[in-house]
Amino acid sequence: VKKCKRIYLENYTVDFPYNREELEHVIGKKIIPSDREFVESLSVVDEAKKMDIALLVYGSPLTATTHISLIQEAKKCDVRYKIIYNASILDAVAETGLQVYKFGKIASMPKWDKGKNFIPDSFMEIVQENQSIGAHSLILIDIGLEFQDALNQLEISAEKYKIKLKKIIICSRLGTRDKKIYYDYADKLNDKKINAPYCIIIPSKLHFIEKEILEEF
């Protein structure tokens, strides 16, 4: 990264607890915040034809389809690229004690806007599918969605899909000094102060070792 002439940082996927200035201090270079429109325009590939460019992202660099598109564009333009893999929530959830290979399809919970009749609940359909095969469900929470609102959306959607919520897992700021893991019923978690970024896990049938570790939280 220090060798790059220009460094971009995605600022639309995660409201991360560290600020850009701290990262600039470590790298020793100015960092340019980039929004979704800029990244999806693929213009960073055009710039990379003339100079070394770095695009910094939070979490796994290839989880987002936009980043796959960047690689495809770079190949078409004969632009050399290098992927540096990063720690991800997909790794960090193992700290809960759940066995990673028992996770099913990943779901995302967007922020509802009832005024605009934007109330998507397909994330609960994924939970339903996962539970039918005995798989745990990881729900990634949209940026800007407060914890209490997320819990409310979860409970409303679970009722619609006739899913009886048992104990759920809340993971907050995993991988940082402020990490928190809670394992309890939704109504008992409502008064918890949960800082972003956070995720919700709906566990399926637990192995006795998984249960033993979870009960410690």
Instruction: Give the CATH number of the domain where residue 131 resides.
Output: 3.30.950.10
C-alpha torsion 88→89→92→97, nearest 10: -150
Q: Are residues 94 and 61 located together in one domain of the fold?
A: no
83 within a domain of the structure (yes/no): no
122 within a domain of the structure (yes/no): yes
The total of structural domains in the chain comes to 2
Q: What CA–CA distances, in Å, run from 185 to 59, 164, 174, 188, 217?
A: 28, 11, 20, 5, 12
81 within a domain of the structure (yes/no): no
Q: Are residues 72 and 105 located together in one domain of the fold?
A: no
- The helix/strand/coil state of 134 is coil
- The pLDDT value recorded for residue 193 is 92
Asked if 30 and 19 count as a contact pair (C-beta separation under 8 A), the reply is: no
- The pLDDT value recorded for residue 15 is 63
- The pLDDT value recorded for residue 16 is 63
Q: DSSP class of residue 129? A: H
pLDDT in tens, the chain (217 residues): 999 999 999 877 666 656 788 889 989 999 999 888 888 888 999 999 999 999 998 888 888 778 899 999 999 999 999 999 888 888 899 999 999 999 999 999 999 998 889 999 999 999 999 999 999 999 999 888 999 999 999 999 999 999 999 999 999 999 888 899 999 999 999 999 999 889 999 999 999 999 999 999 9
Q: Are residues 108 and 207 located together in one domain of the fold?
A: yes
Q: Are residues 94 and 70 located together in one domain of the fold?
A: no
Asked if 95 and 186 count as a contact pair (C-beta separation under 8 A), the reply is: no
- Residue 103 lies in domain: 89-214
208 within a domain of the structure (yes/no): yes
- The pLDDT value recorded for residue 44 is 92
- The pLDDT value recorded for residue 87 is 81
Q: Are residues 25 and 94 located together in one domain of the fold?
A: no
Domain end among 21, 50, 76: 76
- The pLDDT value recorded for residue 115 is 87
Domain end among 53, 76, 99: 76
10 within a domain of the structure (yes/no): yes
Q: Are residues 62 and 99 located together in one domain of the fold?
A: no
Q: Are residues 30 and 63 located together in one domain of the fold?
A: yes
- The pLDDT value recorded for residue 18 is 66
Of 126, 132, 141, 130, the closest CA to residue 98 belongs to 130
Q: DSSP class of residue 161? A: T
